[in-house]
Amino acid sequence: MKVIDCPIIGTRPAQEFHYGGELRQMPEPGQVDDEHWADYVFNRNGEPGIKREWWYHLPSGTWFIAERDNKSDQFIRTYLYPCQEADR
Amino acid sequence: MNLIETPLSPVHGELEARGAQWGRVGQSPIAVHVDEPRIERQARATLALCDCSPLSKLGVKGPGTATWLGEQGVSVSDEAFESRALADGGVVVNLTGGEFFAESGPASEIVPKLAAHLGRGQTGVFGVERQDATFLLSGGKARQVLAQVCGIDFDQARPRQLILTRTAGVTCAVLPQPESDVEIYRLWVDHSHGLYLWQTLVQISGELGGRVVGAACFYPGLQVS
Amino acid sequence: MSRLPTPAGQWINRDQPIEFRFEGDTHRGFAGDVLSSALWANGVRVLGRSFKYHRPRGIYSMANLDVNAMVEDVSGRRTNLRGDVLPIEPGLDVCAVNTAGGVKRDRLRITERFGSFMPVGFYYKAFHRPRSLFPFYERQMRKVAGLGSINPGNTPQSTPKEYAFCDLLVVGAGPAGMSAAIEAAEQGLRVLLVDEQPHMGASGAWQFASDEAVQRTCHDLARRAGALDNLEIRCGTQVGGWYADHWIALIDDQRLTKLRTAATLVATGCFEQPAVFANNDLPGVMLGSAAQRLIHLYGVKPFERAVVLAANSDGYRMALDLDHAGVDVAALVDMRLAGEASQWASRISEADIPLYLGHAVYEAHPRPGKSGIKAALIRPVDQQGRVVADGEQHIDCDGIAMSVGWMPACGLLYQAGVRFSYSRHIEQLVPGQLPAGLFAAGRVNGVFAFDDQLTDGRRAALEAAVYLGKYDGIVPKAPTHNDAPPSHPYPIVVHEKKKAFVDLDEDIHLKDFVNAHQEGYDNVELLKRYTTVGMGPSQGKLSNMNATRILARLNDTSINETGTTTSRPMHQPVSINHLAGRRFAPLRRTPMHRWHAGHGAQFIHAGDWLRPEYYRDGSKARDDCILDEARRLRQGVGLIDVGTLGKITVSGPDAVAFLERIYTGRFAKQPIGRVRYALACDEGGVIIEDGVIARLAEDRFYVTATSSGVGAFYREMQRWAIIWQMDVVLANVTGQLAAMNIAGPQSRHVMEALTDIDLSADAFAYLGVREGMVVGATATVLRVGFVGELGYEIHVPASHGLQVWTKLINAGQTEGIGPFGVEAQRLLRLEKGHIIVSQDTDALTHPYEAGLAWAIGKNKQFFIGQRSIGIMNKQLQTRKLVGIAFDENYQGPLPEECHLIIDGSDIAGRVTSIAHRSTLGYAIGLAFVRPDQAEPGTLLCVRTDGGCMVEARVAAIPFYDPENQRQN
């Protein structure tokens, strides 16, 4: 079982976590046409690469962002939303 | 005394079936002894399981909590998941994100006082109902019980630092509270999971030669009423 | 029972004899013996029968790979136990598996006569025609397939699982492993050293047993290892599997240990590989390492007169061990033309062992009934490595010991993602690039000389210490192998007629490979699956290497081009009991659980929760009990435990704004003390949750959610709060509070005496919320009407749940109060036409389809799903949730949930909820139908069980009290 490093709790086995999907920006609902909105709602990008993903530590109820290479299944780094560059 | 007319531990029935002798914490009955005190003391050092669920608890959450607790005379740690002792023998833990969890000792002074002061116009302080079951696991073999239910490396765990994890498949908070003579682990689990976790711990500690003991093992001031 | 004098037999305790039974006969052995060693010492040579042809088999590896010497308890408690690792103990009573009538005269041995009709893959081709006979074939196949038998009468046993942790796991306590573990521990690492054998030493204990210097070193290592506090040694422990991030399954007698280590050092050594020649499977033919183990570990003389087949120096050393143990070594047959260059060659001649260079064993001659061998037929080998008939010799013997090569025990490395390549230098596979935190040392790493293994162990340990940040000094290089290759490149001898076995697990012989290759299975993965080589219980540990060599030669390519098959966990078979472990099944119970159990409650699982489905009333039928519970409530008063409801508090300055974004409705103008229905959708506009929102203060809300949905929904609430950066404080208090609903025309009357809250209709109207005391507990009381009557939903701290419940029941006695369960509640809400999210809605249902357009706030700026609902509302609606009803005097079959509405030949919809009996006197339900069928009165065709079509009528909802008079 993989281990995941929660920015609050520390390193724990993956079974303590829930995967929350890729971090995506919701388009401004009033500013996009139906087609683009449907693309946001229904389509996901699974191509290999480094993904920014939501992960949730279940026992503590902590949401955070993990950068993960979904090809090698390696976690690169984790941080709390929305901090990105500042936490590097 | 009709016990059914008082607040109850989720494992009250289990202790009743063991012929517990009861005392009181606030309104609630607490199992003071389950066995002969001499046997209980021995078990405390080797392997003992104890229900302390009747201890009163309180959660507070919100941006103003740390300040408010300070104003109430409760000293809390700034560090994530660090616990501090309460003056009444209880403990208060920083759950991060402006959330604190407090449990009074059997004298039950601080938590009821805090609860009474909640909601009196403070800003950024909200009470969170906490009815968790409290179980204590102690003795040289306590780690062997934990090894069967909990994927935490307690070698690396810091004393008095809370671990939010899963035990036997349910969310649980484990606080290592070593004393000079013995290892003690305090487990907090959701009230609804209390009976399940208790029965699981009873079974495992039983296999390892452990016993269920009364709360007087850990709170010698408790008296049978 | 004859044994060799000490120091042979290091592992047995001659002071502790043990009696045991095998195939009904009583034998004696010593503590420390395994079944095979004790039987061999008693002269038993046939230990089992092979899988397909039921040929007699004996000892082959003594390395936990003797799957033809597999036994089961006569009691039926355990099965498929391998004789070469099963410790004997008093009372042990076992029989060979897979025989008809015992191992000596197994009636199924006749199958070999039909061997020529059972070529490889025959069952793929033979048993499907005619189709009608397949069930017959299947029954027969099941009888002959498989090995041990299962006793369904066994009582389940709990085998605990444990978590454990270390810095470095060292797998294998041989020379390399021991030296690595000591070095790592001395560098300050928390080290765990495991070995599957009951003692440390591994190859050091049997391969170099005659070398006193080596023995001294091994004892010294064991002593040093035992003295280190931060080095834990676990013998008798297998590593079952390597999983991501160094998550390891350790298996011993007692338990499965889930180990998390920061790094893993694999020093698993090698499996000795057999030579392939005719009758190479008979009892008496064994690996040289098996013979050495018998001698040195168990003090058992493997043969009286032996032929040694060798292709490396290990074979020479082994021949000397046999000689020393009193075995008459009739011949040392070296497959290599050049023979042995090392000192061992002269030692052989000093011992007067006849040496046959450039020869191979062509065939083993069986004794009658194939119960052993009586001679070896040897032939010279030509320059191409083929045997030639000219010069054949016949050597009498009762045993052939083979030492022709090795295969790394690479299972764990494969599991960790390591690729192997073939080194012509040592004629063996060697590991390539190792992933982070993984290290290999010793023979698995291609390092064979004893001293080199020690060095390599230390080298790997230091690398691990560097990786873990405990060492920054110099790390020596891995030693290189300077001697002749320890493995023969092609230890395979073709026989014109007789079977030469490649895989003893599955009885696959050389001819099978030729046939499969001719049929086009020329790829290693295809060949494996077609022939099933390597798919038996030992998973190819004694056959994959030779299979690869054979295929490479058939394809005329190199081993590297041919490729190897990989290995997956578990490394060795693990009992299901170990895998199942203690079987944790978390259950949530409400505080009133004890009361329910004491009052006839029949519990059902609702998610993690146990809930009363209904309360049994004497001998009354289930449906009658449920209907009575419902009627009692409609006429008087009932009480239900709704503690499983999701309960969330939402507080803070942005609480209202937050709720308005999460839910479809409007809450900004909701007065304090009022309750509103709340519906939530996902971004696609699909209904995901519903409940009520009670406003307790300007900035404080109490929200309920569905029992099964609250966990995920609360999680999403937390995420949106973060994304929107709102000043809101959320808490999921589902388990912290007990909740119960007292409902029915008499409910106010019962409640009045128990609370300080003013319950008068004016002071506390329908959809109001009050905080106050209810029988000594601080309570939040909501006036909601899920069941369609006057009612109060009371939420109190969980520890108070039982006392409040009990007092309500006691107080309601004069009004005839009774508890009601989930089933009655489902019926009552159905009568009111209230939906249950996820029962009456599915993964596509949007609010308009479900008749919940009224719950969508108009002119809201934003809520989740708003944009999608808007789009769907513009589209043509395809279905609508409606009520359906059956006539009062209808007697025919009734549909169940999920039965289809049929229109002509089309599916027009489905039933989502149904009550066969109701307080209204007729069956009612909810169903999705086409919008053109939604008009009340429309007749619908429903296909019920068995295809029977019944007619239902669309009815207006609510069925009960359409004017909502009763809940006010």
The torsion angles phi and psi of B23, rounded to 5 degrees, stand at -125, -160
Task: Note the pLDDT of residue C517.
Answer: 95
Cis link prior to C7 (omega < 30° from 0)? yes
Q: Are residues B200 and B180 in the same domain?
A: yes
Q: How far is CA A77 from the centre of its chain?
A: 11
**pLDDT for residue A85 is more than 70:** no
**pLDDT for residue C804 is more than 60:** yes
3-state secondary structure string across C538-580: CCCCCCHHHHHHHHHHHHCCCHHHHCCCCCCCCCCCCCHHHHH
Which of C254, C584, C672, C727 has the most B C-beta neighbours within 10 Å, making it the best mutation to test the interface with B?
C584
Of B129, B148, B156, the CB nearest to C797: B129
Predicted confidence band of residue C110 (pLDDT cuts 50, 70, 90): confident
* Strand partners for B92: B84, B102
Q: Are residues C929 and C967 in the same domain?
A: yes
Q: Are residues C381 and C319 in the same domain?
A: yes
- DSSP-based three-state secondary structure for C619: coil
Polymer length of chain B: 225
Report, as an integer, the average pLDDT of C352-371: 96
Query: Contact at 8 Å (CB) between C200 and C294?
Result: no
Is there a domain that residue C602 lies in? yes
Task: Note the pLDDT of residue C464.
Answer: 98
Q: Least CA distance to B62: which residue of chain C?
A: C729
**pLDDT for residue C716 is more than 70:** yes
The angle at the Cα of C814, spanning C812 to C816, to the nearest 5 degrees, equals 70
Q: What is the pLDDT of residues C870-880, one digit of tens each?
A: 999 999 999 99
Domain boundary residue among C404, C426, C453? C404
* Strand partners for B82: B161
Is there a domain that residue B113 lies in? yes
Q: Are residues C247 and C309 in the same domain?
A: no
DSSP character for C665? S
Question: Chains A, B: CB contacts under 8 A, how many?
Answer: 22
Q: Does B102 touch chain A (CB under 8 A)?
A: no
Is there a domain that residue C487 lies in? no
Q: Which residue has the tokens 């998610």?
A: C607
Q: For residue C888, what is the domain's CATH number?
A: 2.40.30.110
Q: Are residues C4 and C135 in the same domain?
A: yes
Of A18, A29, A63, the CB nearest to C866: A29
**pLDDT for residue C568 is more than 60:** yes
Predicted confidence band of residue A84 (pLDDT cuts 50, 70, 90): low
Query: Contact at 8 Å (CB) between C9 and C297?
Result: yes
Q: Are residues B117 and B144 in the same domain?
A: no
Of A9, A13, A15, the CB nearest to B164: A9
**pLDDT for residue A88 is more than 70:** no
Q: For residue C94, what is the domain's CATH number?
A: 3.10.20.440
Q: Which tokens in the block code for residue C402?
A: 């083979």
Q: For residue C662, what is the domain's CATH number?
A: 3.30.70.1400
Q: Are residues C952 and C820 in the same domain?
A: no
Report the neighbours of A using a cutoff of 3 or more CB pairs below 8 angstroms.
Answer: B, C
Which of C286, C277, C289 shows the shortest CA–CA distance to C365? C277
Q: For residue A13, what is the domain's CATH number?
A: 3.30.2270.10
Of A1, A2, A20, the CB nearest to C719: A20
Contacts of B96 in chain A (CB under 8 A): 8, 60
Whole-angstrom distance, CA of residue A17 vs CA of residue A74: 16
Is there a domain that residue C523 lies in? yes
Which of B206-215, C384-393, C683-692, C861-870 has the least mean pLDDT? C384-393
Q: Are residues C290 and C430 in the same domain?
A: no
Q: Are residues C243 and C279 in the same domain?
A: no
- The contacts of residue C849 (CB under 8 Å, 6+ apart) are C877, C878, C879, C880, C881, C928
**pLDDT for residue B203 is more than 90:** yes
Q: Are residues B196 and B148 in the same domain?
A: yes
Predicted confidence band of residue B4 (pLDDT cuts 50, 70, 90): low
Q: Are residues B142 and B195 in the same domain?
A: yes
CA dihedral B13, B15, B21, B25 (to 10 degrees): -80
Q: Are residues C677 and C697 in the same domain?
A: yes
Is there a domain that residue B224 lies in? no
Q: Are residues C621 and C766 in the same domain?
A: yes
Q: Are residues B120 and B142 in the same domain?
A: no
Q: What is the pLDDT of residues C747-798, one digit of tens each?
A: 999 999 999 999 999 999 999 999 999 999 999 999 998 999 999 999 999 9
Largest CA distance in chain A: 43
Whole-angstrom distance, CA of residue C341 vs CA of residue C893: 90
Report, as an integer, the average pLDDT of B65-86: 96
| H-run or E-run covering C640 | strand C638-641
**CB-CB under 8 Å, B126 with C651:** yes
Q: What is the pLDDT of residues B12-37, one digit of tens each?
A: 999 999 999 999 999 899 999 999 99
Q: How far is C407 from chain A (nearest CA, A)?
A: 29
Domain of B70? 57-128
Q: How many domains does chain A have?
A: 1
Domain boundary residue among B76, B108, B128? B128
Q: What is the pLDDT of residues C629-670, one digit of tens each?
A: 999 999 999 999 999 999 999 999 999 999 999 999 999 999
Whole-angstrom distance, CA of residue C607 vs CA of residue C586: 10
Q: Are residues C223 and C176 in the same domain?
A: yes
- The contacts of residue C861 (CB under 8 Å, 6+ apart) are none
Task: Note the pLDDT of residue C323.
Answer: 98
Task: Note the pLDDT of residue A87.
Answer: 45
**CB-CB under 8 Å, A8 with B165:** no
Q: How far is A43 from chain B (nearest CA, A)?
A: 33
Is there a domain that residue B223 lies in? no
Q: Are residues B62 and B43 in the same domain?
A: no
Domain boundary residue among B99, B128, B157? B128
Task: Note the pLDDT of residue C120.
Answer: 76
Domain boundary residue among B128, B150, B184? B128
Q: For residue B96, what is the domain's CATH number?
A: 3.30.70
Q: How far is CA C535 from the centre of its chain?
A: 19
**CB-CB under 8 Å, B166 with A15:** yes
Q: Are residues B108 and B183 in the same domain?
A: no
The torsion angles phi and psi of C244, rounded to 5 degrees, stand at -50, 145
Q: Are residues B40 and B140 in the same domain?
A: yes
Q: For residue B179, what is the domain's CATH number?
A: 3.30.1360.120
Q: What is the pLDDT of residues C915-936, one digit of tens each?
A: 999 999 999 999 999 999 999 9
CB atoms closer than 10 angstroms to residue B38 = 8
**pLDDT for residue C34 is more than 90:** yes
Helical segments of chain B, H only: 12-17, 37-46, 65-71, 110-117, 142-149, 194-207
Q: Are residues C15 and C100 in the same domain?
A: yes
Q: Does B203 touch chain A (CB under 8 A)?
A: no
Q: How far is C725 from chain A (nearest CA, A)?
A: 9
Is there a domain that residue B181 lies in? yes
Average pLDDT, chain B: 95
Whole-angstrom distance, CA of residue B153 vs CA of residue C259: 10
Is there a domain that residue B26 lies in? yes
Q: Which residue has the tokens 């009575």?
A: C628
Which of A15, A57, A60 has the most B C-beta neighbours within 10 Å, making it the best mutation to test the interface with B?
A60
Indicate the angle between helix axes C655-662 and C710-723, nearest 10 degrees: 120
Report the neighbours of C using a cutoff of 3 or more CB pairs below 8 angstroms.
Answer: A, B
**CB-CB under 8 Å, C736 with B130:** yes
Domain of C77? 1-150
Task: Note the pLDDT of residue C888.
Answer: 93
Which of B11, B192, B197 has the most C C-beta neighbours within 10 Å, making it the best mutation to test the interface with C?
B192
Q: Does A58 touch chain B (CB under 8 A)?
A: yes
Q: How many domains does chain B have?
A: 2
Predicted confidence band of residue B1 (pLDDT cuts 50, 70, 90): very low
Which of B45-59, B118-132, C114-128, C172-186 has the least mean pLDDT? C114-128
Say how many CA atoms lie within 13 Å of C562 toward its Cβ: 25
Q: Are residues B19 and B117 in the same domain?
A: no
Whole-angstrom distance, CA of residue C329 vs CA of residue C331: 6
Report, as an integer, the average pLDDT of C433-457: 97
Whole-angstrom distance, CA of residue B158 vs CA of residue B93: 14
Q: Are residues B152 and B186 in the same domain?
A: yes
Domain of A24? 3-87
Query: Contact at 8 Å (CB) between C278 and C499?
Result: yes
Of C727, C777, C806, the CB nearest to B4: C806
CB atoms closer than 10 angstroms to residue B84 = 16
Largest CA distance in chain B: 52
Is there a domain that residue B6 lies in? no
Is there a domain that residue C834 lies in? no
Q: Are residues B145 and B45 in the same domain?
A: yes
Q: What is the pLDDT of residues C522-553, one digit of tens each?
A: 999 999 999 999 999 999 999 999 999 999 99
> With a CB-CB cutoff of 8 Å, which residues 683-712 of chain C face chain B?
700
Q: Are residues C200 and C255 in the same domain?
A: yes
Side chain identity, residue C556: D
**pLDDT for residue C22 is more than 50:** yes
Q: What is the pLDDT of residues A49-83, one digit of tens each?
A: 999 999 999 999 999 999 999 999 999 999 999 87
Beta strands in C747-824 (DSSP E): 769-774, 777-782, 791-797, 818-819
Helical segments of C663-744, H only: 710-723
Predicted confidence band of residue C673 (pLDDT cuts 50, 70, 90): very high
Indicate the angle between helix axes C343-350 and C313-324, nearest 10 degrees: 30
